[in-house]
Amino acid sequence: MADKELYRVDEAMTILSLKRSTIYEQLRCGRLRSVHVGRTRLIPASAITEYVALLEGEAAASGRFGVAS
């Protein structure tokens, strides 16, 4: 992921293994950041890293981090 600074939504979908609707929901509620360049929405690599850290923190707080189901 470190080779690019900005990702299109479809690339972020692949990186995060999420559906398009889930990506846009996370953007709407502010859990995932993005920028606009013209009409194109781009997600910074740092925002993806922060989002993963947020998910890990939530999982750790709920006691579910690293637990296989």
Contact of 5 with 37, CB cutoff 8 Å: no
State the CB neighbour count (10 A cutoff) for residue 35: 11
Is the pLDDT at 19 greater than 70, yes or no? yes
Overall average pLDDT of the 53-58 stretch: 94
| Res 8 pLDDT > 60 | yes
Give the predicted TM-score (pTM) of the model.
0.85
> According to the model, what pLDDT value does residue 44 have?
98
Residue tagged 């013209």 (tokens)? 38
What ranges do the domains of the chain cover? 6-61
